[in-house]
């Protein structure tokens, strides 16, 4: 039997250690895109329009550009050498600042946000959306004209059960179509995305999808959360709530993206630990 040389043994051990030490997920910033990269991800990455928009209340039946969106600019503050921690600062047109600390871990991305209103006027920033593009993850292309082909891969939880899309009572009429919005009981139904609003109330703040062979789950959640949304760019949203900021007020928001094996029970247990709020 051939005995490996000392050099070959050391090289193998070093390579194994390096592979073990390398993070499963890393982060990058590309214009307004937050890019999550990982060798296990279909296509190698997930791109997020982060953040797509900060929004005013009374948005359900309002002109998106003229009445709802508050313009903002985003600044990259830092990206760690290992590409696992990324910091951003958003500055809204009304003077509000939102600082983001985004951390990639082995199978999740953690979001910690601090919103401050340093002005002497109340801010109308009631909610905001991160648009996660999931075409390649679900086995489709990244682009398309309002595609709904990926819907059977997508889910929310209704009556405490994973429910695939299109869910019951799928709505088709709104100021803008297609798409689908689910609103929690604690949020006014006048304050969500101007897409078809489903009458059913989700059991929790998770929204997600399976990859092509259904071995992996993508899921995302925020607290506090404003809505769950299936959009028109093979995207899914869990949009977070700010509820406006008074002069001098500071609020915190936190979120998660999970990229885990297909074990729904384990995902729910993890979500409950991360978001114990009722």
**Would residue 15 count as lying in a domain?**
no
The DSSP code sequence of 71-95 is -EEEEEEEE-TTS-EEEEEEEETTS
**Would residue 152 count as lying in a domain?**
yes
Give the closest residue to 130 by CA, choosing from 33, 250, 65.
33
What CATH number is associated with residue 105?
2.70.98
Give me the percent of the chain exceeding a pLDDT of 90.
88
**Would residue 12 count as lying in a domain?**
no
**Would residue 112 count as lying in a domain?**
yes
278 — pLDDT class (breaks 50, 70, 90): confident
117: domain range? 23-274
Residue 254 has pLDDT above 70, yes or no: yes
Tens-digit pLDDT profile for residues 189-228: 999 999 999 999 999 999 999 999 999 999 999 999 999 9
The whole-number pLDDT of residue 7 equals 43
**Would residue 8 count as lying in a domain?**
no
Tens-digit pLDDT profile for residues 135-160: 999 999 877 767 899 999 999 999 99
**Would residue 13 count as lying in a domain?**
no
Mean pLDDT of 244-259: 98
pTM of the model: 0.91
Domain count within the chain: 1
Alpha-carbon span 156 to 164, nearest angstrom: 7
């Amino acid at each position: 039997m051939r005995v490996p040389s000392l050099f070959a043994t050391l090289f193998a051990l070093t390579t194994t250690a390096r592979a073990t030490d390398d993070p499963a997920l890393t982060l990058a910033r590309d214009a307004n895109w937050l890019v999550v990269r990982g060798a296990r991800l279909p296509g190698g990455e997930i791109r997020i329009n982060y953040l797509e928009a900060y929004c005013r209340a009374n948005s359900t039946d309002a002109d998106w550009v003229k009445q709802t969106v508050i313009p903002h600019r985003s600044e990259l503050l830092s990206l760690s050498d290992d590409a696992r921690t990324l910091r951003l600062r958003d500055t809204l047109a009304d003077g509000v600042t939102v600082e983001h600390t985004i951390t990639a871990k082995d199978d999740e991305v953690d979001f910690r946000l601090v919103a401050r209103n340093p002005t002497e006027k109340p801010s109308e920033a009631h909610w905001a959306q991160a648009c996660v593009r999931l075409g390649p993850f679900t086995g489709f292309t990244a682009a398309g004209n309002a595609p709904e082909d990926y819907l059977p891969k997508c889910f929310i939880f209704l009556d405490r059960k994973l429910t695939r899309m299109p869910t019951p009572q799928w709505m088709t009429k709104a100021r803008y179509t297609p798409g689908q919005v689910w609103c929690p009981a604690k949020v006014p139904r006048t304050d969500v995305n101007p897409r078809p609003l489903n009458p059913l109330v989700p059991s929790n703040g998770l929204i997600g999808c399976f990859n092509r062979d259904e071995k992996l789950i993508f899921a995302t959640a925020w607290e506090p959360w404003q809505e769950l949304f299936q959009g028109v760019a093979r995207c899914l949203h869990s949009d977070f709530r700010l509820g406006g900021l008074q002069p001098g007020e500071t609020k915190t928001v936190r979120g998660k993206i999970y990229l885990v094996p297909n074990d729904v029970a384990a995902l729910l247990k993890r979500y409950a630990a991360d978001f114990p709020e009722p």
